[in-house]
Amino acid sequence: MERTLVIIKPDGVQRGLIGEIITRLEQRGLKIVGMKMIQMSKELAEKHYAVHKGKPFYEGLVQYITSSPVVVMAVEGNRAIELVRNTMGATNPANATPGTIRADFAVEIGRNLVHGSDGPETAAFELSLFFRDDEILSWSRDTDRWIFE
C-alpha cells in the first residue's frame, strides 16, 4: 500500500466541493486514513511550497493557499499517488481529461481545486508536514478485497 497527501485547496472548500472530491477518491477505491480541515499558516505554506521558492508565482501561491481553510487528507491504496493524480487530472484544467476533478470543475491553473503529491519521496515529506504519526490510522476496510487483488 502506498500513501499520499491530497489537499482540497481554498477554491474547492469555498465552492462546496469537499464532498464531491472525497467521493471521487473513495469511488476510485482509495482509502482515507487521515483527514482534517486547517487554516494553513504562512510558515507551513512556505515549507510545503519550498521547491517553488524564487519562482515568479511563489508569493501568489503562498498567499492563495493561506487565504481560506483547506482540507488535508492522507490517502492510501495500491499505486495511490498515480491514482490520485489521474483522478485529479492535469495541473492545467484546460488540458485535463474529461471526467477528472479539474476538467469537470476547474477553469484556471491557479484555481485548480486540489493538490496531490507527485512521488513517493514528496508524499512522505508532505504527509509529515500535515500529520503526526498518530493522526494517520491503519484500519481494515471490508471492501478492499473487492478492490485490490
Least Cα distance to 86 among 132, 129, 24, 19 occurs for 24
SS3 81: helix
Least Cα distance to 64 among 117, 113, 5 occurs for 113
At residue 88, φ and ψ (nearest 5 deg) are: -70, -40
- Active-site hit among 115, 117, 126, 130: 115
Contacts of 44 (CB under 8 A, 6+ apart): 129, 130
52 is known as an active-site residue: no
Report d(CA 55, CA 64) in Å as an integer: 15
What one-letter code names the amino acid at 78? N
Catalytic residues: 115
